A = this chain, B = another copy of it.
Amino acid sequence: MRFGLFYEHQLPRPWGDGQELRLYQDALDQVEIADRVGFDYLWAVEHHFLEEYSHSSAPEVFLGAASQRTKRIRLGHGIVQLPPAVNHPARIAERIATLDLVSNGRVDFGTGESSSSAELGGFGVRRTDKRAQWQDAIDAITRMFVEEPFAGWLSRDITMPPRNVLPKPVQKPHPPLWVACSRRETIQFAARNGIGALSFSFVEPEDAGKWVDEYYRILASEECVPAGFAVNPNVSVVLPMMLHEDEATAIDRGIDGAHFFAFALAHYYGPTPHDPGRTNVWEEFLSRRAARGFSREQIIANAGTLNVNVGSLRGAVGTPAQVIDLVRRYEAVGVDQISFVLQSGPNKHEHICESLELFGEAVLPHFTEGREERDAAKAERLAPAIEAALARREPARTAAAGYRIDEDAEVARAHRSRDIRSASRRRFRQGFYKLVHGRSDEQIERHFGPAAQRVFFAGMARAFDPSAAAGFTGELEFCLTRVVWTLEIGKSRAHAHPGPAEDPALTLTVATADFLRILAGDANPASLLMDGRLELRGDHELAPRLSEMFGGPSPY
């Protein structure tokens, strides 16, 4: 078991002069303590525009500063947002490598897709694009670390000519990779990509155990095709923490922070309206916490047992004995790391420092004995599977000598590919939408003869994204007007054929015209379902994932 410290840099309103300065300076003092008492990881998030919830928008700078206040602790990005509209992939590779140089090889490279509306809307990232952008960017960035020179890139979202991206990281082939996870599906996704799972949702030990088992099963299977040039087999969970020998004092000092964290998370990741610069999340928290299940009184009444249910979120707010017990439960199910959030909501600097010292004295020593040996044994056990997995990853490329930097041609190519992309997307969307919008069922269906059917279903099969299928394999059956089509979903690809399925996991019955309206964005499947114009038979849970599986919008 390894222990981390996790920073959002929260700052509830009202904001006074100098509070952000205090926030950052205090955090650096805390990090110095954590390093001294034996914490293994410091994680800093990258969030943008999430007032009160996270003022950690440039973690590369904070971690750079932390590198000179610490000696041993690892410095983790938890996470870097990979959509190219937020961070250019070369800029990411450069800052990770530079941080690795100033910290003498202590970087962990956590990655994510970005997912709050404030961030996606702020940077103009389509929710439907972000998964693909993550996959595209991680491939490019890890190549920038190992290819000398990076042989260039031409994808829908990234165009870059050959360049030697400098500097290179200290750790070879590159710092350990992680990905932000919040659900079982994303943990599986991490395993398929051979990278650490940084779970940011508060999960009970028993559920965490199921995730861990599945993670390691997939990681050791043929499903694992590493996203990087090294595999990082680790599962980490996050918990709020405040420690004191007296339980009531621990709760008094830490519970508002833990609750505000969860409340503000829900605020930014749910449908709550937000007026930038004006919405006061702290006031909303005060007036609604009880209704949302964040009752201070209830926690105090139930003291004595730690409960990490989000509903009555308490996490590791308690005595050393309670926290030792809680950590043991996570350890027992195979969780590799727990990262603790102490700096949250109104939690006080001096209480955080006290808790860190107490954790180092009273909790940490219970988990260090034999840790190196256990880690070594784990590495040995996984070595053959990791070797096999790495053989499945496309290798680093060796660019042919003789390339010459040619600014005019390179710039023209970058702009041409942008122009073509946007033009073809626009044409397709507009064309298809025009074809169905305002037309009668008969008019639409007239266009959907056998040739058009083949094109559409083949297109869906081609657009299939195994990561969105979350391990599902089987048949999806589409009963349209006078015609039935089946999509066979395999592990990594899908195949379309006309005719009924043998054993459909899910059957959708819908008029051809409505089916095409859904695809063109002219009808909402939920509305059709409610109107009885769309019928589902079989595994209903598959339905909400369909759009995403075939390149449509993701619900998360």
Taking Cβ atoms with an 8 Å cutoff, the residues of A that contact B are 9, 18, 20-21, 23-25, 28, 48-51, 55, 57-58, 60-69, 85-88, 90-91, 94-95, 97-99, 101-105, 117-118, 120-127, 148-150, 159-168, 170, 273-278, 399, 401-411, 413-415, 418-419, 422-423, 425-426
Residues of B within 8 A of A69 (CB): 68
- CA A168 – CA B49 in complex, angstroms? 11
- B95 in contact with A87 (CB, 8 Å): no
- B24 in contact with A415 (CB, 8 Å): no
Which interface residue of A68, A87, A425 has the most chain B CB atoms within 10 A? A68
Which interface residue of A55, A102, A127 has the most chain B CB atoms within 10 A? A102
- A165 in contact with B101 (CB, 8 Å): no
- CA A149 – CA B160 in complex, angstroms? 34
- The residue from B24, B50, B87, B168 contacting A20, defined by CB atoms under 8 A apart: B168
Measured between C-beta atoms, what is the minimum distance from A426 to chain B in Å?
A: 5
Residues of B within 8 A of A18 (CB): 170
- CA A426 – CA B94 in complex, angstroms? 33
Residues of B within 8 A of A409 (CB): 121
Whether A88 contacts B123 in the complex (CB less than 8 A), given A102-B24, A401-B275, comes out as: yes
- The residue from B21, B48, B64, B425 contacting A60, defined by CB atoms under 8 A apart: B64
Closest to A399 in B: B277
Measured between C-beta atoms, what is the minimum distance from A441 to chain B in Å?
A: 27
Residues of B within 8 A of A88 (CB): 85-87, 123
Residues of B within 8 A of A127 (CB): 407, 411
- A24 in contact with B101 (CB, 8 Å): yes
- The residue from B94, B126, B410, B419 contacting A411, defined by CB atoms under 8 A apart: B126
Measured between C-beta atoms, what is the minimum distance from A78 to chain B in Å?
A: 16
- The residue from B48, B121, B170 contacting A94, defined by CB atoms under 8 A apart: B48
Closest 8 CB pairs of A and B: A124-B414, A64-B64, A149-B277, A121-B410, A117-B407, A68-B68, A57-B94, A149-B276
Measured between C-beta atoms, what is the minimum distance from A399 to chain B in Å?
A: 7
- B25 in contact with A405 (CB, 8 Å): no
Residues of B within 8 A of A101 (CB): 20-21, 23-25
Which interface residue of A21, A104, A404 has the most chain B CB atoms within 10 A? A21
Residues of B within 8 A of A48 (CB): 90, 94, 163, 165-166
Measured between C-beta atoms, what is the minimum distance from A68 to chain B in Å?
A: 4
Residues of B within 8 A of A275 (CB): 401-405
